[in-house]
Structures are given as structure tokens and as C-alpha cells.
Amino acid sequence: MLELLNYDFFLNAVYILLFASIVCAVAGALIVINRMVFLAGAVAHAAYGGVGLAFFLAQPVLPITLAFSIVSSSAIGIYTAKKTSRIDSVIGIFWALGMALGIILIDFTPGYKADLMSYLFGSLLAVSSNDILMVVVLSVISILFLFAFYRQLVLFSYDREFAFVKGVNIVAIHTLIIILSAVSIVILIKIVGIILVIAFLTIPQYLSEGKTNTLMGMILLSCVYTICFGISGLIFSFYFNTTSGASIIIIAGIWFVVEKMFLGIKNGKSEKIAT
């Protein structure tokens, strides 16, 4: 297996996974504890609008998608920060609108669009050094974000109203969490693709949540899970010649089922019925 380390494309994939796992662990933990999974789904699919825009303008895809997603997620964030009723319908509209925009823009783009599929399903084995640089910068930014606002994030996630009373800027924190999700999603587009993004932002976090008592613990643990899933998925895809993104998600999913079954039996936990 060690011979894999001789391949540059494999090493690049490992590097990008290591740094991406930081961004994804931070964003994913905040998404999961704030019950924003659906919101993150909308951001992910709206990102396709950015992919379309990049094709249409014939510009590099990741930077354009990143800019597009930051703008659209800020709008989603500010709009959803204070509303509580029917918020899911509004999010659903964003979801479809971004996707539709992407499809139309690509329709308008002449020529053959061979690598379009790679944005839907990821292309972990075709990582450039620019991609790695971008992910490193973004992971530093997300660590700074986490450290700077840690107490606000805990307070906000647990009880928004009380956070407001404690002087936390609710709209700002809510919007920043969504922007961070957008950033992590754009990175993940490279790794697992738009379609599978959500699994990567929720499975590791969900598995970590019950095993720790703090938000920081949850983030660190999901970072470890993300790296393990990522690298084993990568190796799997190499030996079985499968799509890397889907292989990673399958491994995460299988592990999720195994762990849930195993832990359920070990602790002899009673099943909760409803609610």
C-alpha cells in the first residue's frame, strides 16, 4: 500500500483532505448543532450556479464558485437570520434557483463540457497545487473564525435568544456560519462533488456529537473521522478503480451503520420511540 505515496496525485489528494477536514469539521459541527443541514444543502446546490457562471465566463471554476457562493450564502444568511416560520420553504427556493441558474448558464455556454461531471461527483485525483493553496488558506481562516468567536458560537448554538440578551450579534453569527458552510462546500465540490457534500458535513459530526461534552471536542473528533473516511475512501477508489468521492461517502456510510449497531448493542440503550 505504501507504494501509493510515490504518486504525486495521491499525495496531493491526501494533503487536500487533511486541510479540508479542518474546514469541514468546523463548518459541519456548526451546521449539525444548529440544525442547518437543509440550509447547507441549499447552499451546496446553489453553488452549481457558480459552476455555471464560471463555465459561462470561461474562468477557473473554484474561485468563481467560491465568490458566487459567498455572495449567495450571505444573502441566504441575512434573509433567514430572523425569520423562523416557513423558513424551510424559502431555503428550498434558494436551493432550486441556484441549481437552475447553473444549468441555464451552462446551456448558454458553447462547446463540449466534459469535466462538468467532476463538479457533481468530485475529482480528488486531479488536484492542482493552486487548489491545495486555496484550501490551506481557507482552513487557516476557519480556525481563526472558530477561535475568535468560540464563546459566541457556543452561546448562539445553544440558545439564540439568550445570546441576543448577552449582546451577541445574532444576524452576524448566523450569516458567518452559513458563509463558512459555503466555503467548506466549495472545497468539498472538489473532493466529493455537489451531490454528496451533505454526507461529508454531517456523518462525521453526527458520530462525534454523542462522544464528547464540548463543541471543541466535537470538532476535533469529526476532523479525525473526516480524515479517516477520506483516506480510506481514497485507497479504496484506487484499488477498485471507483469514483473517489462516492467511495469516501460509502465508507463513511458503512462505518456509520456499523458504529450505530455496535454501540446500540454495547450500551444496551433503550430505543427512544418518537420525538
Query: In the stretch 22-61, what mask flags binding to another protein with x, by CB under 8 A?
Result: -----------xxx--------------------------
Which triple of cell numbers denotes residue 120?
Answer: 457533481
Residue 188's Cβ-side half-sphere holds a number of Cα atoms within 13 Å equal to 37
> CA 155, CA 235: separation in Å to the nearest integer?
40
Least distance between another protein and beta carbon 80 (Å): 16
137 burial type by CB count under 10 A (0-12 exposed, 13-18 middle, 19+ buried): exposed
The answer to whether residue 141 forms part of the interface with another protein (CB under 8 A) is: no
* Phi, psi angle pair for 200, to nearest 5°: -70, -25
The answer to whether residue 149 forms part of the interface with another protein (CB under 8 A) is: yes
The answer to whether residue 213 forms part of the interface with another protein (CB under 8 A) is: yes
The answer to whether residue 209 forms part of the interface with another protein (CB under 8 A) is: yes
Stretch of residues binding another protein (CB under 8 A), selected from 44-52, 74-82, 93-101, 143-151: 143-151
Least distance between another protein and beta carbon 209 (Å): 6
Least distance between another protein and beta carbon 224 (Å): 15
> CA 73, CA 57: separation in Å to the nearest integer?
21
Among 152, 222, 226, 247, binds another protein (CB under 8 A): 152
Least distance between another protein and beta carbon 151 (Å): 4
Least distance between another protein and beta carbon 273 (Å): 17
The DSSP 8-state label assigned to residue 1 in this structure reads: -
Which 158-177 residues touch another protein, going by CB under 8 A?
158-162, 164-168
Which residue, 82 or 113, is less far from another protein as judged by CB?
Answer: 82
Which residue, 129 or 214, is less far from another protein as judged by CB?
Answer: 214
The answer to whether residue 248 forms part of the interface with another protein (CB under 8 A) is: no
Least distance between another protein and beta carbon 159 (Å): 6
Contact between residue 181 and residue 27 where contact means Cβ atoms under 8 Å apart: yes
- Coil/strand/helix, residue 115: coil
Cα–Cα nearest to 95, from 219, 22, 197: 197
The answer to whether residue 143 forms part of the interface with another protein (CB under 8 A) is: no
Contact between residue 190 and residue 82 where contact means Cβ atoms under 8 Å apart: no
Which residue, 15 or 150, is less far from another protein as judged by CB?
Answer: 150
Q: What value, to the nearest 5°, has the Cα angle with vertex 33 and ends 187 and 90? A: 75
Which triple of cell numbers denotes residue 193?
Answer: 462533488
Which residue, 111 or 167, is less far from another protein as judged by CB?
Answer: 167
Cα–Cα nearest to 191, from 253, 234, 156: 234
The answer to whether residue 218 forms part of the interface with another protein (CB under 8 A) is: yes
> CA 223, CA 29: separation in Å to the nearest integer?
10
Please report, as ranges, the residues that interact with another protein according to CB under 8 A. 33-35, 147-152, 154-155, 157-162, 164-168, 209-210, 212-218
